[in-house]
Amino acid sequence: MAIQQADAAPYRVAQPIARSWYAEMLLSRDLPGDRERAHELLREALHMYEAIGMAWHARRAAGRLKGRVSWGAGGRASAITLAFRKSGHDYGISKAGVEF
Mean pLDDT value across the chain: 82
Cβ-proximal residues to 73 (8 Å cutoff; 6+ apart), any chain: none
Helix, coil or strand: residue 64: helix
Task: Give mean pLDDT, residues 42-61.
Answer: 96
β-strands 98-99, 90-95 pairing: antiparallel
Give me the pLDDT at residue 53, please: 96
The rounded percent of the chain whose pLDDT value lies above 90 is 60
Q: In this model, does residue 64 exceed pLDDT 60? A: yes
- What's the pLDDT tens digit per position in 2-45? 899 999 988 899 999 999 999 999 998 999 999 999 999 999 99
Nearest to 37 by CA among 28, 45, 26: 26
Range of the structural domain that residue 21 is part of = 2-99
Task: Give mean pLDDT, residues 45-66.
Answer: 95
Count of structural domains within the chain: 1
Give me the pLDDT at residue 68, please: 77
